[in-house]
Structure 1
Amino acid sequence: MLPSLQCTLAILLLIASDVLAAPRPNTGSSTTIPLVRRAHNRRTEKDWGEWAKSHREMLISKYGGSATPVKRGSGTNLITNQNADSSYYGSVAIGTPPVSFNVILDTGSSDLWVADSACEIGCKSVPTFTASQSSTFKNLSKPFNIQYGSGQAAGILGQDTVQMAGFSVANQAFGVCNDVSSGLLNNPVSGLLGLAWNTIATSGATPLWQTLAGSGAWDSPVMSFQLTRFVDDNNAQTLEPGGSFTMGFVNESLYTGDIDFQSIPSGQESYWILPLTQINVQGNALTFASSSSSSFAAIDTGTTLVGGPSSAIAQVYSEIPGSAPGTGNFEGYYTYPCSTAVNVSLAFGGNSWSISPADFKLTQISNSQCLGALFELETGGSAPAWIVGDTFLKNVYSVFRFNPPSVGFAQLSEAVTAQNGVNGPVPSATIGSAAAAVSATNGSDALSSSGESVRASTLTTLGLLLGGVVVGIMSVF
């Protein structure tokens, strides 16, 4: 997600949800990166109001309210669900020797940044990067700054070897931040990994994923997500298994049927944009012109909820009896009777995909009233009008394809949905051997001259498996 993702990161970290990962059997070089989710504490109506206001402001800020072939392969990063579906993080390893860091996985932004060891404010108890301990780090002597609705992350732009899911990229540019606004990072998360296109990178650098996909390092030019649900689990821990993030393949054990791919509009390779053509609410269809930019939606794993134009959101809630606009910190949101099971589905030019009533209900704020997960959001500039986050993405297997540029969704398998709300141990942060090594140089993606394995190193447990090789099928955490 965009800089707002980092904001969302802080907020997402407040909710926690489980991500389960079931990597496919090892057929060649496959690695798995588990997603982890943190358990959430019970909150008051005031707490939820402050969270809702912060989440909305941060999104407004993020989306502009302002020659020798290398061995190809595939890998999976098990992710963690933090604070009952507030955010999902995985892990990367940076430097020589490699050190693992947990980072929010954000398809709504394009920069990688981590907290610097020199950071004092906003980095308390957060694992930080020490440049002097890496023999391959280079200071690019350029400032780095990302603004959020509630703060910023700023520092310098550096360059080093970055590993993830069994892949290694040399000379990857990333932000090393010594100025991080309080509340933006929550232990054990140290930063954010942007997974959108290079055209919106604040640093101007080619994103890690795009270097790998563009160099042919992957078996298939795709990356995919499967996210767990814990938002409706009162016993959820701050960190829970979050699901999986795969590179270079789709895990057929995680979905059923076909993947419904829809193309990104021509020339719109910035965010992962799709036209939102229809919303079905309680059996009634609201349609939108697919050719209109007002229907464009960014598919954003770094955003917790779903935001859209005020007029469209009002139409959605008009189909829900007893709903009403929120006030105070809940301005821009809507409440509705908790006794109502709300059935909503979204279509992006192809199949219609349902959002579980459990995901639509963000929380209960009084004896009878609940807060809806779709809210009003006015974006600016060339940013898409809709931001579709984890409220929707927990209900599908999502695939982001480099070539041709497109996003696909598929129905989750029964084995996967059965793991929602199932508590379990959080993945450990480890480093495995690299299936492929590429180099990011001056914005171009060039294959390295060798596919040597990256030296393995034992790391401190951070709640995520980064670049860990997985053999067979991993059960949900």
Structure 2
Amino acid sequence: LLRLPLIRNPYNIDILEAARRKHGRILNKRDDNTFTTQLYNDQGSQYLVQVGIGTPPQNFTVTLDTGSADLWVPSSHCPRIECPYGGFQEASSSTFQNGEESFGIQYGIGSVNGTYVKDTVTVAGASVPDQQFGLAETTEDILTTPTTVGGPGGDQTKPNNRTRVAANGILGLGYPQLTAATTQGEQAYNPFVFNLVEKKIIQDPVFSVYMNSADKDGWAGEIIFGGVDKSKFSGDLNYLPVAQLTTQQQPLGGLGGEEDDSAAQNRQGYYYWMVYGQGVSVQGGLQQSQDFDLQSTGAFILDTGTTLTYMPTKIAIQVATAVAGENGFQLDRQSGVFIVDCSVASSDIQVQLKMSQSSNPSSQPVILSVPTSELVIPLDGETPETSTACMFGIAPLGSSGGGLGSNMFLVGDSMLRSAYLVFDM
């Protein structure tokens, strides 16, 4: 089950570059079997968490990503130009176990390749010994951002994070079957968060994510393993089942982390944190209410590793038209996002995602409502009022669909920020 109450947070971001990407300092054990740590808001483009790897722990600040399942950090052998923030020193950890299985992921933008290894992994004070993860030996457009300087032949790279904290890897929180091992003919394994459950490090099999407002930069968010922080939301939690993919699955028995057969069988068919979607509604404006329903129930992938929300092109255009007017937006072909007039932020329009409690449409869907003011993102100023250019927090998937089906949506930070998310494993 996925549990999400619907709350409202103000929204602000100033990085167009982040639209290209798919993708804490204070530790506190709240009580028995519950662990919490802060998330770093990188100007609304991504959320970072601190991970300790090895004995003694070597600290890495990595992107929190519910849209992938692998933890990876740079290897000490990764070239500096590709891994500019340093790598894991294998020889310095007394619990490090080398591996022979290859590791590789192709993201929406960028890729990473290396080797699977094992070591003790600690997040928020919760430690998993012998945790499998990836050591990156090469990366492309993940830890660095390509930029052209001085015309042809002037390609250079620069760090992808201009703030004082940089992403130096990714912590994937998806299901075991989503790990890169399964795409390479290898056996699925338990990601860190699932090992917290299997090894009984947490009693309640949930993790909760609070992003805070986009304009709250720095260590302003929070993730809890094994519990919920009721002070971070108002109202009741709404429950939604996790949707299964309908492709043929391989058995998950014998996963790393000593997962029993019943648990493995129960997770077959689960890849993403994905819920059943019915469509999108735009409330307010000249026509008051416009519904853009799917012909059949689709799926919304809830992905904290994606900055914007991506919808099938037709629906994305319909939503942008309903919000900004027929001539009120244009597609920036280089980044693939909609540019809108910044004045749209002052409207009272709400964009709503409609989600069903089953694979059939519901007469009473769960609604995630996001004010347009949170979806108009300033590009050259602190707020829409002080900016001359703004982008829309909803973008089209494009002709390729990003590898997703025509009824699948990628719901990123631009909309997830308006909810307190509880993921039930």
Same-fold call, TM cutoff 0.5: yes
1:253 and 2:260 matched? no
Q: What's the CA shift string for 1:132-189, capped at 9, x where partnerless?
A: 1111111111221112344321111111111112221111111111212255254532
Cα distance in 1 for residues equivalent to 2:407 and 2:61:
28
1:191 and 2:151 matched? no
Residue type at the aligned position of 1:363: P
- Post-superposition offset of 1:224: 0.7
Q: Cα 1:153–1:183, aligned 2, differ >3 Å: closer, same or farther?
A: closer
- Post-superposition offset of 1:90: 0.5
Cα distance in 2 for residues equivalent to 1:381 and 1:335:
23
Tell whether the 8 Å contact from 1:155 to 1:179 is kept in structure 2 after alignment: yes
- Post-superposition offset of 1:128: 1.9
SS at the partner of 1:216?
coil
SS at the partner of 1:97?
coil
1:376 and 2:376 matched? no
1:401 and 2:424 matched? yes
- Structure 2 matches for 1:48-127, cutoff 5 A? 48=16, 51-52=18-19, 54-55=20-21, 58=22, 73-82=33-42, 84-123=43-82, 125-127=84-86
1:329 and 2:352 matched? no
Cα distance in 2 for residues equivalent to 1:178 and 1:384:
36
Cα distance in 1 for residues equivalent to 2:235 and 2:214:
25
Q: Cα 1:213–1:72, aligned 2, differ >3 Å: closer, same or farther?
A: farther
Cα distance in 2 for residues equivalent to 1:323 and 1:93:
47
Worse-matched range after superposition: 179-188 or 311-320: 179-188
SS at the partner of 2:99?
strand
Residue type at the aligned position of 1:333: V
- Structure 2 unaligned regions, length at least 5: 1-8, 24-30, 145-159, 182-187, 246-268, 357-364
SS at the partner of 1:303?
coil
1:358 and 2:352 matched? no
1:348 and 2:355 matched? yes
1:288 and 2:298 matched? no
Tell whether the 8 Å contact from 2:18 to 2:45 is kept in structure 1 after alignment: no
- Post-superposition offset of 1:348: 1.4
Counterpart of 2:415 in structure 1 is 392
Counterpart of 2:320 in structure 1 is 317
Tell whether the 8 Å contact from 1:121 to 1:180 is kept in structure 2 after alignment: no
SS at the partner of 1:140?
coil
Worse-matched range after superposition: 360-369 or 130-139: 360-369
SS at the partner of 1:358?
helix
Cα distance in 2 for residues equivalent to 1:327 and 1:146:
27
Cα distance in 1 for residues equivalent to 2:337 and 2:121:
39
Q: What's the CA shift string for 1:285-310, capped at 9, x where partnerless?
A: 42435953xx2111011111100101
1:207 and 2:167 matched? no
- Structure 2 matches for 1:451-466, cutoff 5 A? none
Counterpart of 2:266 in structure 1 is none
Cα distance in 2 for residues equivalent to 1:259 and 1:346:
16
Q: What's the CA shift string for 1:200-259, capped at 9, x where partnerless?
A: 10033211111112343323111111112234xxxx7xx512310011000111112210
Counterpart of 2:128 in structure 1 is 169
Cα distance in 2 for residues equivalent to 1:198 and 1:382:
21
Cα distance in 1 for residues equivalent to 2:295 and 2:221:
31
Residue type at the aligned position of 2:328: S
Count residues with an aligned counterpart. Answer: 335
- Post-superposition offset of 1:100: 1.7
Residue type at the aligned position of 1:324: F
Residue type at the aligned position of 1:297: F
Q: What's the CA shift string for 1:52-104, capped at 9, x where partnerless?
A: 4x33xx57xxxxxxxxxxx960111211011x100101111111112221111
SS at the partner of 1:265?
coil
- Structure 1 unaligned regions, length at least 5: 1-18, 20-38, 60-70, 403-477
Q: Cα 1:380–1:183, aligned 2, differ >3 Å: closer, same or farther?
A: closer
Cα distance in 1 for residues equivalent to 2:50 and 2:224:
12
Cα distance in 2 for residues equivalent to 1:384 and 1:298:
11
Q: Which TM-score applies when normalising by structure 2?
A: 0.72
Q: Cα 1:286–1:252, aligned 2, differ >3 Å: closer, same or farther?
A: same
Counterpart of 2:270 in structure 1 is 269
Tell whether the 8 Å contact from 2:80 to 2:86 is kept in structure 1 after alignment: no
Q: Cα 1:208–1:375, aligned 2, differ >3 Å: closer, same or farther?
A: same
- Post-superposition offset of 1:382: 6.6
- Post-superposition offset of 1:372: 0.8
Q: Once the two structures are aligned, what percentage of the paired residues are identical?
A: 29
Tell whether the 8 Å contact from 2:332 to 2:339 is kept in structure 1 after alignment: no
Cα distance in 1 for residues equivalent to 2:319 and 2:124:
39
Tell whether the 8 Å contact from 1:161 to 1:171 is kept in structure 2 after alignment: yes
Q: What's the CA shift string for 1:21-79, capped at 9, x where partnerless?
A: xxxxxxxxxxxxxxxxxx98x77xxxx3x554x33xx57xxxxxxxxxxx960111211
